[in-house]
Amino acid sequence: MDSVPTRRLFAIVIGIDKYGLDDISSLSGAVADARAVATYLQDRLGVHKDHIKLLLNESATRNVIIQELQRLAIDPRIQRGDPIVIFYAGHGSEASPPPEWEAGGLKATIQLTLPYDVYCKSGSEIVMPIPDRTLGALIDAIAVEKANNIVIIMDSCHSASGTRSSVPDLVRSVPPPSDFRLPGSLDQDIRFSVSTTSGLQSHVLISACGADGKAREREGRGVFTVAMLEFLEEKDKWLHKVRYCDIVMDLDLEGQYPHCEGFNRDSYIFTTTSPPLNQYFFPAYGPKNEYIITGGAAHGLSVGDEFTVYDQSPEATASLIPSTCGLEPRVTARRAHSLIIQQIGSFVSIMRLPDEEQSFPTGHHSVARRVKEAKRQSLRIYGHPGGKLSKVPSLLEECNQDFSNSSILCLAGFLKASRQFFSELDRTADFPGITRHIQVEISELQKSQSRFPSSPTRELLPWNAVSDENNSFTLRQGSSYGLKLTNNSPYDLYPTVQYFISDNEFKFDTLYRPGCSRSRLDVPLKKGGGSLTIGYGSGGWPPLFIPFSDKEGCGNLKVSLFSRPLDPFYDVDSVSKKPHQYLKSPWATFLKRVIHSASGTPSPIPDSQQPIKDFILSKPTELSPKLSRTIASKVHNKSVPFIDYTPGSLFKERFGRLT
């Protein structure tokens, strides 16, 4: 816990049990939850009392909540990068968006946070709820000044189905009045006076349930808040190794499924630092006397991949944070076993035991880690006849990487980046039942017209659609672009959108990925006409920005579409009971070429600018043992033979003599 920078933490903690309007049912545990969170921050994390603003009941009016959020952005005590926590317990709601608000296609709704005085009269006006769009703009304003180490925790729900569940629990949601209409101009002074380009890059959002779920109260407390605080207190000694996503993946709340989303959802809590990526899967003994793991071709696995299975006892999990695919290798298992993929499926794989391995049981705490990959295509490296590694030539004339004077660390980093790049780019699937029914639109964004001319930045809105010509888009350098995906297929989809830059640095950005939850994750791209916006509207992710350059460039926009969440620890009980139904579950990918033009005018794509693999790909051959061990240890994957070293004779035959 000592490494968590909590003494520099600042917080706004809100709890509302009783509302100013009598028609809104009272809650019994929101104020108690808020006080418990404030107490935890002070007593367990050492946060100074003056760093916590506690707003309870009548003190949590709409104006006060907005003013306190705005004050965070200008508070001189808060340095850039200091952790900021915003906690809300109370009623939520949902409503139809105004026509001018992009919110996700047919039957889309926006989510509302209810302040104490919501729907009350203030002079001649009715006090409005706080839409998610307004809240996002306020958080963006904080991030502009104080950076993006911000977490929002919402113990409320937005389903307008009522305030009491089938069990004797209160539900933190109320429907809006029957005549309620949200004006499109609401809070435009807030939305137009701050940057709204960062979206979920500015913060992590942890919510007590999904958009259609119910946040319950039981025995005078919020079920989610109680469980969250118990989890954090239990992990007190390991708090510096707990990630935001671990919180929602650990909590088992009997029909309530917390969600976590945001660019930094895999970061350690109260930081923006993520652990090294180590992909873990859940192993199980299937109903047909066979082993399975919750990973398949959609995860980049293939037949022949070998896994080590750690059989965790309850006592052994004290040093293991239950987690998703980013779980850290802190496994202290009683036993370790091996499994090899025999049959690859979309989201699950059938495993076999190595010849010398005896069968073994698996349990709820078991995890499987890939330790050896089957043979794949590899990078071929050319060198001088003497064996001295001097140059890795590119197949592109203008994209050479010269390692003649570079250290092995530099080369190792380059090879690691190239491997990650191609592993992501080459993970493809063709399923016409999905791809033929997906529409991709790209629009240049412009700042909205504001009635506050002095505003430095304003909300971005689409204004200039970019035509799709021969499966490629030409984008203007120096401009920001938004994407819109529309799903006319019969499948609910969980998309990932990535942008691969076609230079020789092997860089790619994730423009969108879904949130995470143990089960019942909100569907981002609903079947039958649902849409998802990226860079504007309600999508919550930043736009694609094309930087200025002295020459034209290009890239690849990759859209991956999964019919179930990709997280290997998602809904593992269902997978364990019926694994074979996930063997052929559909998923698909497609690429769109993106040309960076100074003018935005389409131009022919030269051959050298087509999707590339900068190095010759071939079957692995032997690398000199010393060099192989050195490079393998530097890229942290000692058993993966992805490097092919070819000595000078073939080098001279293909490239001539080095000068």
In the structure encoding, which two tokens stand for residue 641, read together? 């033979």
Query: Could you tell me if 400 and 437 lie in one domain?
Result: no
**pLDDT given for residue 441 in this prediction:** 95
CA atoms within 13 A on the CB side of 573: 4
State the average pLDDT over residues 466-493. 93
Number of domains composing the chain: 4
Please say whether the beta carbons of 341 and 350 come within 8 A.
yes
CATH number assigned to the domain comprising residue 453 = 2.60.40
**pLDDT given for residue 190 in this prediction:** 65
- Report the Cα 274 to chain-centroid distance in Å: 12
Q: Which of 381-385, 437-441, 469-473 has the highest mean pLDDT?
A: 437-441
For residue 636, being part of any structural domain is answered with no
Q: What amino acid is encoded at 61 in this protein? A: T
Query: Could you tell me if 167 and 126 lie in one domain?
Result: yes
CATH number assigned to the domain comprising residue 285 = 2.40.30
**pLDDT given for residue 431 in this prediction:** 96
Q: How confident is the model at residue 130 (pLDDT cuts 50, 70, 90)?
A: very high
Q: How confident is the model at residue 378 (pLDDT cuts 50, 70, 90)?
A: low
**pLDDT given for residue 158 in this prediction:** 74
For residue 144, being part of any structural domain is answered with yes
Q: How confident is the model at residue 28 (pLDDT cuts 50, 70, 90)?
A: very high
User: Each residue of 379-423: pLDDT tens digit?
Assistant: 555 444 444 444 443 333 333 344 444 445 555 666 677 778 888
State the average pLDDT over residues 39-55. 97
Question: Is the confidence at residue 524, as pLDDT, over 70?
Answer: yes
For residue 536, being part of any structural domain is answered with yes
**pLDDT given for residue 423 in this prediction:** 85
Task: Kindly report the average pLDDT of the chain as a whole number.
Answer: 78
Q: Which of 64-78, 293-307, 494-508 has the lowest mean pLDDT?
A: 494-508
Query: Could you tell me if 220 and 366 lie in one domain?
Result: no
Query: Could you tell me if 109 and 132 lie in one domain?
Result: yes
Query: Could you tell me if 419 and 433 lie in one domain?
Result: no
Query: Could you tell me if 307 and 215 lie in one domain?
Result: no
Q: Which of 2-16, 136-150, 557-571 has the lowest mean pLDDT?
A: 2-16
Distances (CA, A) of 111 to 10, 224, 231: 25, 19, 27
- The side-by-side arrangement of strands in the sheet containing 643-646 is 617-618, 378-382, 643-646
Query: Could you tell me if 463 and 404 lie in one domain?
Result: no
Closest Cα partner for 115 from 69, 62, 75? 62
Report yes or no on whether pTM surpasses 0.85.
no
**pLDDT given for residue 547 in this prediction:** 83
In the structure encoding, which two tokens stand for residue 318, read together? 């004290």
For residue 412, being part of any structural domain is answered with yes
Neighbour-count burial for 9-20, b at 16+ CB within 10 Å, e otherwise: bbbbbbbbbbbb
Element (H, E) at 85: strand 84-89
Instruction: Look at residues 597, 621, 638 and tell me which one is the last residue of a structural domain.
Output: 597
Query: Could you tell me if 257 and 120 lie in one domain?
Result: yes
**pLDDT given for residue 325 in this prediction:** 40
Q: How confident is the model at residue 243 (pLDDT cuts 50, 70, 90)?
A: very high
CATH number assigned to the domain comprising residue 26 = 3.40.50.1460
Please say whether the beta carbons of 499 and 507 come within 8 A.
no
Instruction: Look at residues 597, 612, 636 and tell me which one is the last residue of a structural domain.
Output: 597
The residues, ordered by sequence, that sit 6+ positions from 322 with a Cβ below 8 Å of its Cβ are 246, 249, 250, 365
What φ, ψ does residue 398 adopt, rounded to 5°?
-100, 10
Query: Could you tell me if 361 and 472 lie in one domain?
Result: no
Question: Is the confidence at residue 374, as pLDDT, over 80?
Answer: yes
Q: How confident is the model at residue 604 (pLDDT cuts 50, 70, 90)?
A: low
Beta strands 10-15 and 52-56, pairing class: parallel
Distance CA 268, CA 255 (A): 27
Q: Which of 296-300, 498-502, 574-578 has the highest mean pLDDT?
A: 296-300
**pLDDT given for residue 106 in this prediction:** 58
For residue 491, being part of any structural domain is answered with yes
**pLDDT given for residue 558 in this prediction:** 97
State the average pLDDT over residues 49-56. 98
Query: Could you tell me if 442 and 504 lie in one domain?
Result: yes
Distances (CA, A) of 178 to 22, 181, 233, 524: 16, 9, 43, 27
In the structure encoding, which two tokens stand for residue 501, read together? 């830059």
For residue 606, being part of any structural domain is answered with no
- The side-by-side arrangement of strands in the sheet containing 221-222 is 170-171, 216-218, 221-222
User: Each residue of 203-240: pLDDT tens digit?
Assistant: 999 999 998 899 999 999 999 999 999 999 999 888 98
Angle between helix 625-634 and 408-425 (nearest 10): 70
- In the chain, % of residues over pLDDT 70: 71
More confident residue, 646 or 70: 70
Distance CA 473, CA 328 (A): 39
Element (H, E) at 336: strand 335-344
State the average pLDDT over residues 439-465. 65
Query: Could you tell me if 489 and 404 lie in one domain?
Result: no
Domain of residue 348 covers 281-324+332-372
For residue 210, being part of any structural domain is answered with yes
User: Each residue of 281-291: pLDDT tens digit?
Assistant: 988 877 777 89
Question: Is the confidence at residue 520, as pLDDT, over 80?
Answer: yes
Query: Could you tell me if 537 and 489 lie in one domain?
Result: yes
- Report the Cα 508 to chain-centroid distance in Å: 15
For residue 642, being part of any structural domain is answered with no
Sign of the four-CA dihedral 302, 419, 643, 630: negative
CA atoms within 13 A on the CB side of 200: 25
**pLDDT given for residue 3 in this prediction:** 52
